[in-house]
């Protein structure tokens, strides 16, 4: 009998997308620390871009190679299409799972939970400027997660594969959490918040790279909404005049859950405002000119 044919399918595929700046050596160490390697019933699938490399001797750790400019959603799609597990988890190479993540996921899978997500905690010291990216994008997802939060983190979600038969994970105007909103609106499935399955934000922060990335993300957002808005998109484009302030105030409100977060936001207010100006310019361009061409920033 063929050993590969007799080998049971893993119950969980962990798809880990990567940016050009991802540290795969550190990722591998953290996967080992979190107890996710040499687990026969799960497969850990890590994206490598261009000439990136990663030592992957463990039986359940596989690498998937993509061109250097492949967006996150195409990396996820490529991995998902080549795997067959019952559950899928989407992670980011720069936001690795912490200890306790895998047992928490196993519990939800055993319970048959269809869609669930966990918190995103910063791994940087309070005064470290690398917190800027975290505060802008993930402060609202710091543990414990607010049960009234109307949004979900795109770098720490898990779901049953069979849901992909009814709702699309990728497509035109993709946003990572669009899938979760579809699951809620079309299937009546409310994603379950799980405070015991955190990931740790460890992304590096380079101002010029980050501002360009925020511009591209804002442009993708504007472009993905322009068809629905029709002629009203020009009115939304004019909103660029107040949008940076509105986005900053949203971040400030999200940080008020804990004094530590509030202090961080106030410390880095100027950088956060500059970043939100970059997003707003991109969103305006998206309403008028469509999607950005540089897919490398669409993570």
Both 162 and 34 in one domain: the answer is yes
Last residue of a domain, one of 186, 201, 216: 201
What local confidence, expressed as pLDDT, does residue 177 receive? 63
- Find all residues with CB under 8 Å of 221, minimum gap 6, and list them: 175, 279, 282, 283, 286
Both 120 and 137 in one domain: the answer is yes
Both 19 and 158 in one domain: the answer is yes
Both 115 and 180 in one domain: the answer is yes
What local confidence, expressed as pLDDT, does residue 214 receive? 92
> How many Å from the N-terminal Cα to the C-terminal Cα in the chain?
42
Both 251 and 185 in one domain: the answer is no
Q: 228: domain range?
A: 207-297
Site of tokens 């997500």: 117
Query: 93-97, 109-113, 241-245: which has the minimum mean pLDDT?
Result: 241-245
Both 49 and 78 in one domain: the answer is yes
Above 90 in pLDDT, residue 185?
A: no
Last residue of a domain, one of 181, 201, 221: 201
* DSSP state for residue 231 in the 8-state scheme: G
Last residue of a domain, one of 180, 201, 222: 201
Q: Comparing C-alpha atoms, which of 152, 151, 250, 257 is closest to residue 199? A: 152
Spatial contact of 199 and 156, defined as CB atoms under 8 Å apart: yes
| Number of structural domains found in the chain | 2
What local confidence, expressed as pLDDT, does residue 46 receive? 96
What local confidence, expressed as pLDDT, does residue 186 receive? 83
Q: Is 215 in a helix, a strand, or coil?
A: helix
Q: Model confidence over 127-177: pLDDT tens digits?
A: 999 999 999 999 999 999 988 888 889 899 999 999 988 887 655 444 556
Above 60 in pLDDT, residue 1?
A: no
Both 52 and 74 in one domain: the answer is yes
SS3 content of the chain, % helix, strand, coil (to 5): 45, 15, 40
Residue 182's pLDDT band (cuts 50, 70, 90) = confident
Both 132 and 173 in one domain: the answer is yes
Please report the sign of the dihedral spanned by the C-alpha atoms of residue 17, residue 10, residue 182, residue 113. Answer: negative
Both 134 and 282 in one domain: the answer is no
Both 116 and 226 in one domain: the answer is no
188 CB neighbour count, 10 Å cutoff: 7
Q: Which domain CATH number covers 142?
A: 3.90.550.10
Both 194 and 263 in one domain: the answer is no
Both 55 and 174 in one domain: the answer is yes
The radius of gyration computed from the CA coordinates of the chain, to the nearest angstrom, equals 19
């Amino acid at each position: 009998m063929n050993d590969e044919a007799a080998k049971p399918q893993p119950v969980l595929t962990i798809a880990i997308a990567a940016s050009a700046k991802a540290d795969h050596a550190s990722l591998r160490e953290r996967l080992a620390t979190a107890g996710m390697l040499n687990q026969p019933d799960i497969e850990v699938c890590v994206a490598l871009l261009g000439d990136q490399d990663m030592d992957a001797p463990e039986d359940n750790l596989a690498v998937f190679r993509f061109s250097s400019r492949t967006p996150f959603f195409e990396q996820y799609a490529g991995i998902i299409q080549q795997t067959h597990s019952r559950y899928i988890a989407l992670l980011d190479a720069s936001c690795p799972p912490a200890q306790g993540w895998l047992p928490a996921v196993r519990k939800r899978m055993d319970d048959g939970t269809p869609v669930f997500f966990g918190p995103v905690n910063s791994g940087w010291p309070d005064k470290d400027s690398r917190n800027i990216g975290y505060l802008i994008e993930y402060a609202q997802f710091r543990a414990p997660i607010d049960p009234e939060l109307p949004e979900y983190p795109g770098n720490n979600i898990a779901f049953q594969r069979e849901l992909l038969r009814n709702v699309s994970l990728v497509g035109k105007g993709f946003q990572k959490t669009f899938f979760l909103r579809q699951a809620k609106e079309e299937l009546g499935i409310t994603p379950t918040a799980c405070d015991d399955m955190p990931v740790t934000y460890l992304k590096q922060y380079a101002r010029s790279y980050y501002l360009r990335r925020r511009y591209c993300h804002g442009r993708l957002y504007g472009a993905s909404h322009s068809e629905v808005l029709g002629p009203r998109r020009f009115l939304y484009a004019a909103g660029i005049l107040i949008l940076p302030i509105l986005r900053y105030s949203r971040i400030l409100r999200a940080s008020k859950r804990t004094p530590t977060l509030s202090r961080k936001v106030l410390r880095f207010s100027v950088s956060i405002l500059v970043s939100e100006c970059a997003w707003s310019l991109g969103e305006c361009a998206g309403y008028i000119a469509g999607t950005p061409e540089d897919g490398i920033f669409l993570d």
